[in-house]
Amino acid sequence: MTTPGPTMKGPAREPSSRRPSHDVGQGDVPPACDRGLMTLGSSLAALVQTITNRLTTSGSMTYAHFGLGFLEARLLYVLSNTQPTLARRVAERMALDPSAISRALVRLTERGLVVKSPQSKRVLLLTDEGLRVAHAIRSVFEERSRRLVDGVSIGELRAAQDILEKIQRNLPFVAELADDMPFRQQAEL
Protein backbone atom coordinates (compact mmCIF):
# COMPACT_ATOMS: atom_id res chain seq x y z
CA MET A 1 0.00 0.00 0.00
CA THR A 2 1.33 3.43 -0.89
CA THR A 3 0.95 6.43 1.33
CA PRO A 4 -0.02 9.77 -0.13
CA GLY A 5 2.68 12.38 -0.44
CA PRO A 6 2.69 15.59 1.57
CA THR A 7 -0.05 18.03 0.79
CA MET A 8 0.78 21.56 -0.17
CA LYS A 9 -1.16 24.65 0.77
CA GLY A 10 -2.28 27.09 -1.91
CA PRO A 11 -3.68 26.58 -5.38
CA ALA A 12 -2.83 23.42 -7.26
CA ARG A 13 -0.23 23.95 -9.95
CA GLU A 14 -0.25 22.41 -13.35
CA PRO A 15 2.84 20.29 -13.92
CA SER A 16 5.51 22.36 -15.62
CA SER A 17 6.17 21.45 -19.21
CA ARG A 18 9.84 22.11 -18.61
CA ARG A 19 11.77 21.73 -15.39
CA PRO A 20 15.31 22.75 -14.55
CA SER A 21 17.86 20.12 -15.53
CA HIS A 22 18.47 19.10 -11.90
CA ASP A 23 15.80 18.39 -9.30
CA VAL A 24 17.01 20.49 -6.37
CA GLY A 25 16.00 19.99 -2.79
CA GLN A 26 15.99 16.22 -2.90
CA GLY A 27 19.13 15.75 -0.80
CA ASP A 28 21.36 14.49 -3.61
CA VAL A 29 24.47 16.29 -4.81
CA PRO A 30 24.54 17.27 -8.47
CA PRO A 31 27.43 16.18 -10.67
CA ALA A 32 30.59 18.31 -10.54
CA CYS A 33 29.79 20.05 -13.84
CA ASP A 34 26.40 21.11 -12.41
CA ARG A 35 28.14 22.50 -9.30
CA GLY A 36 30.26 24.73 -11.55
CA LEU A 37 27.15 25.82 -13.42
CA MET A 38 25.37 26.51 -10.12
CA THR A 39 28.33 28.61 -8.92
CA LEU A 40 28.26 30.62 -12.15
CA GLY A 41 24.48 30.95 -11.85
CA SER A 42 24.79 32.25 -8.30
CA SER A 43 27.52 34.69 -9.35
CA LEU A 44 25.37 35.88 -12.25
CA ALA A 45 22.36 36.35 -9.98
CA ALA A 46 24.49 38.38 -7.56
CA LEU A 47 25.88 40.47 -10.42
CA VAL A 48 22.41 41.18 -11.83
CA GLN A 49 21.21 42.13 -8.35
CA THR A 50 24.17 44.49 -7.86
CA ILE A 51 23.53 46.14 -11.23
CA THR A 52 19.83 46.47 -10.43
CA ASN A 53 20.54 47.99 -7.02
CA ARG A 54 23.01 50.52 -8.43
CA LEU A 55 20.69 51.48 -11.29
CA THR A 56 17.80 51.92 -8.87
CA THR A 57 19.86 54.00 -6.42
CA SER A 58 21.34 56.27 -9.08
CA GLY A 59 17.95 56.47 -10.81
CA SER A 60 16.28 57.50 -7.57
CA MET A 61 18.82 60.30 -7.12
CA THR A 62 18.42 61.38 -10.75
CA TYR A 63 14.60 61.36 -10.79
CA ALA A 64 14.44 63.17 -7.46
CA HIS A 65 15.30 66.27 -9.53
CA PHE A 66 11.85 65.84 -11.09
CA GLY A 67 10.28 65.29 -7.68
CA LEU A 68 9.75 61.62 -8.56
CA GLY A 69 10.86 58.30 -7.19
CA PHE A 70 12.41 55.66 -9.43
CA LEU A 71 9.16 53.68 -9.77
CA GLU A 72 7.13 56.79 -10.55
CA ALA A 73 9.61 57.80 -13.27
CA ARG A 74 9.54 54.31 -14.78
CA LEU A 75 5.75 54.37 -14.66
CA LEU A 76 5.60 57.69 -16.54
CA TYR A 77 8.05 56.31 -19.09
CA VAL A 78 5.94 53.18 -19.65
CA LEU A 79 2.70 55.17 -19.81
CA SER A 80 4.22 57.53 -22.38
CA ASN A 81 4.86 54.50 -24.62
CA THR A 82 1.55 52.70 -24.13
CA GLN A 83 -1.20 55.16 -23.25
CA PRO A 84 -4.06 54.85 -22.90
CA THR A 85 -3.69 51.62 -20.98
CA LEU A 86 -4.99 49.66 -18.02
CA ALA A 87 -3.16 49.81 -14.68
CA ARG A 88 -3.15 45.99 -14.64
CA ARG A 89 -1.32 45.90 -17.98
CA VAL A 90 1.26 48.38 -16.72
CA ALA A 91 1.89 46.18 -13.65
CA GLU A 92 2.29 43.13 -15.91
CA ARG A 93 4.62 44.95 -18.29
CA MET A 94 6.77 46.24 -15.44
CA ALA A 95 6.63 42.85 -13.66
CA LEU A 96 5.59 44.54 -10.42
CA ASP A 97 2.96 43.98 -7.81
CA PRO A 98 -0.25 45.84 -8.72
CA SER A 99 -0.38 47.42 -5.25
CA ALA A 100 3.03 49.07 -5.82
CA ILE A 101 1.79 50.44 -9.14
CA SER A 102 -1.41 51.62 -7.47
CA ARG A 103 0.51 53.56 -4.79
CA ALA A 104 2.74 55.18 -7.42
CA LEU A 105 -0.32 56.08 -9.50
CA VAL A 106 -1.89 57.80 -6.50
CA ARG A 107 1.23 59.97 -6.14
CA LEU A 108 1.31 60.75 -9.88
CA THR A 109 -2.40 61.57 -9.86
CA GLU A 110 -1.98 63.88 -6.86
CA ARG A 111 0.76 65.71 -8.80
CA GLY A 112 -1.54 66.09 -11.81
CA LEU A 113 0.62 63.94 -14.10
CA VAL A 114 -1.83 61.06 -14.60
CA VAL A 115 -5.62 60.93 -14.81
CA LYS A 116 -8.14 58.16 -15.21
CA SER A 117 -10.08 58.12 -18.42
CA PRO A 118 -13.62 59.54 -18.21
CA GLN A 119 -14.82 56.41 -20.06
CA SER A 120 -13.23 53.93 -17.62
CA LYS A 121 -11.58 54.46 -14.23
CA ARG A 122 -9.18 51.62 -15.00
CA VAL A 123 -7.74 53.31 -18.09
CA LEU A 124 -4.79 55.64 -17.44
CA LEU A 125 -3.86 58.76 -19.37
CA LEU A 126 -1.03 61.26 -19.03
CA THR A 127 -2.00 64.89 -18.60
CA ASP A 128 -0.23 67.58 -20.65
CA GLU A 129 2.11 68.12 -17.70
CA GLY A 130 2.57 64.34 -17.42
CA LEU A 131 3.54 64.20 -21.10
CA ARG A 132 6.03 67.06 -20.59
CA VAL A 133 7.66 65.34 -17.61
CA ALA A 134 7.58 61.95 -19.38
CA HIS A 135 9.41 63.49 -22.37
CA ALA A 136 12.12 64.86 -20.06
CA ILE A 137 12.37 61.48 -18.32
CA ARG A 138 12.67 59.73 -21.68
CA SER A 139 15.77 61.84 -22.42
CA VAL A 140 17.26 60.85 -19.07
CA PHE A 141 16.39 57.15 -19.59
CA GLU A 142 18.05 57.22 -23.01
CA GLU A 143 21.20 58.89 -21.65
CA ARG A 144 21.38 56.42 -18.75
CA SER A 145 21.00 53.54 -21.22
CA ARG A 146 23.69 54.97 -23.50
CA ARG A 147 26.11 55.29 -20.58
CA LEU A 148 25.24 51.82 -19.31
CA VAL A 149 26.23 50.11 -22.55
CA ASP A 150 29.17 52.36 -23.47
CA GLY A 151 31.99 50.19 -24.81
CA VAL A 152 29.74 47.19 -25.49
CA SER A 153 29.25 46.13 -29.11
CA ILE A 154 25.84 45.55 -30.69
CA GLY A 155 26.73 41.86 -31.04
CA GLU A 156 27.57 41.64 -27.34
CA LEU A 157 24.32 43.42 -26.44
CA ARG A 158 22.31 41.02 -28.60
CA ALA A 159 24.04 38.02 -27.05
CA ALA A 160 23.45 39.40 -23.55
CA GLN A 161 19.80 40.04 -24.37
CA ASP A 162 19.37 36.50 -25.71
CA ILE A 163 20.94 35.02 -22.58
CA LEU A 164 18.91 37.19 -20.21
CA GLU A 165 15.70 36.30 -22.06
CA LYS A 166 16.50 32.60 -21.62
CA ILE A 167 17.12 33.19 -17.93
CA GLN A 168 13.90 35.21 -17.69
CA ARG A 169 11.96 32.22 -19.05
CA ASN A 170 13.25 30.22 -16.06
CA LEU A 171 11.90 32.70 -13.49
CA PRO A 172 8.58 30.85 -13.06
CA PHE A 173 10.55 27.74 -12.06
CA VAL A 174 12.51 29.78 -9.52
CA ALA A 175 9.23 31.13 -8.14
CA GLU A 176 7.97 27.55 -7.70
CA LEU A 177 10.55 27.08 -4.93
CA ALA A 178 8.32 29.18 -2.67
CA ASP A 179 5.80 26.33 -2.72
CA ASP A 180 8.28 23.45 -2.92
CA MET A 181 7.72 21.12 0.00
CA PRO A 182 11.34 19.98 0.61
CA PHE A 183 12.49 23.58 0.97
CA ARG A 184 9.63 24.46 3.28
CA GLN A 185 10.55 21.49 5.47
CA GLN A 186 14.20 22.62 5.58
CA ALA A 187 13.11 26.13 6.58
CA GLU A 188 11.14 24.72 9.51
CA LEU A 189 14.26 23.09 10.99
Task: Report the CATH number at residue 78.
Answer: 1.10.10.10
> How many angstroms separate the CA atoms of 130 and 155, rounded?
36
Give residue 62's pLDDT.
Answer: 92
Q: What is the pLDDT of residue 183?
A: 60
pLDDT score for 184: 60
Q: Do the domain assignments include residue 76?
A: yes
pLDDT at 18: 54
Q: Does residue 65 lie within any of the structural domains?
A: yes
As for how many domains the chain has, the answer is 1
- Rounded to a whole number of angstroms, the distance between the first and last alpha carbons of the chain is 29
Query: What is the identity of the amino acid at 112?
Result: G
Closest CA to 21 of 164, 166, 185, 183: 166
What does the pLDDT read at residue 100? 86
pLDDT for residue 112: 94
CB burial of 154-170 (b: ≥16 within 10 Å; e: otherwise) equals eeeeeeeeeeeeeeeee
pTM over 0.75: no
Average pLDDT, the chain: 79
pLDDT at 87: 76
Quick check: 97 and 91 in contact, CB under 8 A?
Answer: yes
pLDDT in tens, 92-110: 888 888 888 888 888 999 9
> Domain for residue 32, yes or no?
no
d(CA 47, CA 53): 10
Low-confidence ranges of the chain (pLDDT < 50): 1-16, 22-27, 29
42 is a domain residue:
no
Pairwise CA distance, residues 186 & 46, whole Å = 23
Domain hosting residue 93, numbered range: 53-162
